[in-house]
Amino acid sequence: MKKNKLIFVLLLLCSITVVSSVGTFFYVKLNNNHTAAEDDILVMTSCNPVYIATLNVLDGVDGYRVENLSQPTTGCLHDYTLTTEDMKKLSKADMLIVNGGGMEGYLEDVMEAYPNLQIVDTYEDIEHSNGFIGMDTYLIKEEEKEHDHEEEKESLPLEGKVAAELTDEVSNEVSDEHEHHHDHGANSHIWMDDRLFKCQVTSIANALMEPNRNREETPISKNFLEYSNKLENEIDKQGLDKTLAGSNVAILHEAFAYTAQSLGANVVATMDLDEERQVSAGEVSEFLDAIRDNNVAIVFAEYDYGKSMGDLIEEQTDAKVVYLETLVHGSYDASSYITVQNSNFSKIRDIL
């Protein structure tokens, strides 16, 4: 018994020694890596779509580090403000790649705080046809009418729990703090149309290749070509660009205006629901009317904010509601753009 105990203690000591030397080894290794990484070009990205694009463009390329700023856990990016941790990272960054078009409401503050930080604005590049002549026609401008939130509060033709909930909230918050969404009069969720996402990838690759004006093959240009081909070949619309072409759809999140556009469908009714968005009963009944009047068969929605309205739509009209991903929340890897788009298309196909 005693002997056993001694052996046990010895073993324990041995393992402690092993553990601590392994620990030291890793510590040294990590430290070395860290020093090496200090010289890397730190590329920060503002949101998942440009993060995914940048990961693909810089895949395996030496000398770069890609980091995404923190992402909102609820709501959309345009309502988001940066954490102090984000600002700290930006102070060390060499480049910030943004979606643009008003999506990053904090952008001006960042530019003011770090005037030397190189900013790549993918929306701007498309808008000003920097290399993609004609693609700016795919940029969707906001409809003015979306902000007539206050009208017709008295008419409450809807009954049931959902309608009551929706109307209860109307009076409290009105649209002034909502205005910043649409500062540029643009719908900036451009990545949802794969053709525009390809332009974003191009814009990012162009910015990163800037020092190489001769356009000889480089690891970045090779990645760019590979990823562009991948997007071309692996995004599978499953025939929806034929099935839905010319048909009428409604959307419960403005991101899906680009999904509809990429399939050739017409958006006949938009209700942009997000966490701060309050909807009046008048607006709800107008929306339901638009669905009925235009024979809308399918409504694109985001689950978190669209579910109760979605239930109401399915209860009161013949339209079916499909819940899609916008890529705004959560963490993604390099392959996510293609898998998320394809799963969105599968969901649409399955509900038709």
Interacting span for Zn ion (CB under 5 A) from 51-59, 157-165, 177-185, 202-210: 177-185
Q: Closest approach of Cβ 151 to Zn ion, in Å? A: 15
Nearest distance in Å: CB 155, Zn ion: 21
Per CB under 5 A, the segment of 2-10, 224-232, 270-278, 313-321 that binds Zn ion is: 270-278
Instruction: Pick one of 50, 53, 76, 95: the residue that binds Zn ion (CB under 5 A).
Output: 76
Residue closer to Zn ion by CB (options 144, 217) is 144
Nearer to Zn ion, 58 or 251 (CB): 251
Q: Using an 8 Å Cβ cutoff, are 201 and 191 in contact?
A: no
- Judged by CB under 5 A, the stretch of 107-115, 164-172, 181-189, 317-325 that binds Zn ion is 181-189
Q: Applying CB under 5 A, does 327 fall inside the site for Zn ion?
A: no
Alpha helices, H only, the chain: 2-38, 48-57, 84-92, 107-113, 122-127, 161-170, 194-208, 219-234, 240-243, 256-263, 281-293, 303-316, 336-351
Choose the stretch contacting Zn ion; rule: CB under 5 A; options: 44-52, 175-183, 193-201, 338-346.
175-183
Binding mask 31-70 for Zn ion (x = CB under 5 A): ----------------------------------------
One residue of 125, 272, 286, 302 binding Zn ion per CB under 5 A: 272
Of the candidates 331, 260, 324, 255, the one whose C-alpha atom is nearest the C-alpha of residue 296 is: 260
Residue 41, H or E segment: strand 41-45
Tell me if 193 sits within 8 A of 262, measured CB to CB. yes
Smaller CB separation from Zn ion, 272 or 283: 272
Pairing of strands 186-187, 140-141: antiparallel
Nearest alpha-carbon partner for 50 in 97, 89, 2: 97
- Which is closer to Zn ion, CB of 89 or CB of 181? 181
Least distance (Å) from Zn ion to the CB of residue 170? 15
In the complex, least distance from residue 26 CB atom to Zn ion, rounded to whole angstroms: 42
Least Å distance, CB 189 to Zn ion, is 6
Query: In terms of Cα–Cα distance, which of 263, 312, 306 is closest to 291?
Result: 312
Question: Which residues are CB-contacts of 171 (< 8 A; sequence separation ≥ 6)?
Answer: 153
CA distance 72 to 66: 19
**What does DSSP say about strands 64-68 and 41-45: parallel, antiparallel, or unpaired?**
parallel
Interacting residues toward Zn ion by CB under 5 A:
76, 181, 272
